[in-house]
Amino acid sequence: MDLKGILINSLKGFDPRNEIKNPVMFITEIAFVISIFILAFPANFHVPYSTVYIQFYISVTILLFLTVFFSNLSTSLSESQSKAITLSLEKMKKTTKATILKDGKETIANSNELKKGDIVLIKKNEIVPGDGEVIKGSGYVNESNVTGESRPVLKLVGDSVTGSTTLVSDELTVKISVDPGNSFIDSMIDMVQKSIRERTPNEIALSIFLSGVTLIFLIVVASIFSISSYSGIKPNIDILIVLLIALIPTTIGGLLPAIGIAAVNKVSKYNIISKSGKAVENAGDIDTIILDKTGTITMGEREAVKFHPNINYDEMNLGKKSLLCSLNDETIEGLSIVKLATSENISYSESELENYEFIPFSSDTGYSGLRKADEYIYKGSLKALSEKLNLNDTYINGLCKQISLKGGTAIPVATNGKFIGVIELNDILKPGIKDRIGDLHRMNIETVMLTGDDEVTAAYFAREAGIDDYIANSKPQDKYNRVIEEKNRERMVAMIGDGTNDAPALSKADVGMAMNTGTQAAKDAANMIDLDSTPTKLIDVIFLGKQILITRGSLTTFSIANDISKYFVIMPAIFYTFPELAFLNILNLTDPLRAITSALIFNTIIIVILVPLAIRGVKYTPSSASDILKRNILIYGFGGLVFPFIVIYLIYVLLGLGGILW
């Protein structure tokens, strides 16, 4: 949005129907209107009519207008960012032709006519017509317009695709998973637009608190008016208005909407769809974070590096069996086993696969491979194969433990009633993950790692990364059980997931983040969706949630501290005829009207000064709650108390130079 549009929206904000949503600014606007009447009809309000007082009335009226205007401006600036994001998202949406498959026939339709459940065929270089799940084929999809990642992503059966991306190789058959208007891009646009209208629970609670404080000071000022009249002093209504506006928390009241909108803007800049503002806010209160090992703690691209044959077995025989049971395995591990076997010149013939049925990997079974009649070739976790096949081999057990102790992953291979060897896969910690886990610890957040690896491998990576707790040989039910366990301890839980079996746990977590590459069930259950499918981004969201809460708390502290300073400026000016109250005049300001005007000028400009901070956010350094509180009190409490005295005094001096006003 251009500057003209921002200014127009700031003026539209004066509409009482809009301003009443912010009680502090609504009171300020009422004070502005009353000030106009006082300026226009001074005699009706029994106020002195002189050049000095006319200047004072004009100053108060202008400054009250600017206070409300700058508050509206801060909101308008934040909303302009939201609208810019919305426009860029709308440009992503592409209407294209879609090939619908139905009853063995192909029909052409517009992409915006597709409904949930439609089956579409997408060919090389065609635009994906809508969000859906791959049910046949494989191919690379360019998602750069959505995720920013320039490299195309391989999509296999079960993976999800996003509308408006482009298939750059092969052919995919996709089942559309959403109705028109409910795509990821539509959801993201809706999320950004709602950020302009909706407030989060914490923001609502703070608004209620600020309304209560405003009501208290309204009663206080009304009491001062009554006491002054009773004592025989004719109170200057404009001075009482200034006192009211200076005492109520106009600073945080003017910045609160901008903080909330800026928070949702930041989430969208992380390329994350947040289904509610509450999810972002919950991130700041997280006590426990549940992380998968593969892809989050480690690089996740485990590669087969060596075949370890059992006693009386040779490496080539193990390699051949490993190759055969991995040919149809499209997991990263399966592809790497084929690659290792090929690099060692291990080959096979089609006849060796005759009558075999491929058994895909399942997190419930823990293995995959080939089977025909009473014959099989399985590879998987030691625990799963031992239980499934009732096998126990001391040599294989020791070999698996040895591999696990050095951080590798051991994949035993079994055929026809015995283990024939172990495939060694290597994975490494993600760069910087240990420091990030350390940051979580400094925030008193407990970390839990879940992995399908055995106890030894799990313990190794947990120790290396600094993880508090882990669950080895974990199954989908373990995630759900751990979330329930943490919530029973009255802890706020965050977790990530990408599979259908993660959906129950994601739905129970306070912050559940699903990967864009995950299944539709996971994305439906989560309250956040990461379009980049970067698991460690959950940690970034927690940092962002902390920053939002700290920004709101810091500016509230600063605003209340400001009110105390302004009190010591305005109260002595109101009761300057009472020498008993002279001790309140800390700055020794001798001109009451100039002192009051200086306080009001500060009250107005401080909103403008703090707008960039409200939008950018207070810098957050991971630390404990007590350290954050101390820093908040020192910088924004003590600083908010001293800073106004300095600035108000400077304004007072500047107004007096050359007789600018008085």
Catalytic residue annotation: 292
Place of tokens 């008016």: 225
Query: Helix (H, G, I), strand (E, B), or coil: what is residue 456?
Result: helix
Using CA atoms, how far apart are residues 52 and 662, in angstroms rounded to an integer? 7
Q: What is the DSSP letter of 430?
A: P
Using CA atoms, how far apart are residues 97 and 461, in angstroms rounded to an integer? 48
Q: Are strands 408-415 and 375-380 parallel, antiparallel or unpaired?
A: antiparallel
Helices (H), 294-423: 315-324, 332-343, 382-389, 394-405
Q: What is the DSSP letter of 50?
A: S
Using CA atoms, how far apart are residues 356 and 208, in angstroms rounded to an integer? 68
Q: How big is the chain, counted in residues?
A: 662
Q: List strands edge to edge, sheet with 408-415.
A: 303-309, 418-426, 408-415, 375-380, 367-372, 357-359
**Strand partners for 290:** 448, 495
Show the beta-strand stretches assigned E in 276-429: 288-292, 303-309, 357-359, 367-372, 375-380, 408-415, 418-426
Alpha-carbon separation of residue 610 from 12, 62, 74, 636 (angstroms) = 22, 20, 9, 12
Using CA atoms, how far apart are residues 493 and 321, in angstroms rounded to an integer? 43
The closest of 332, 344, 272 to 515, measured between CA atoms, is 272
Neighbouring residues of 59: CB distance < 8 A, sequence distance ≥ 6 = 597, 600, 661
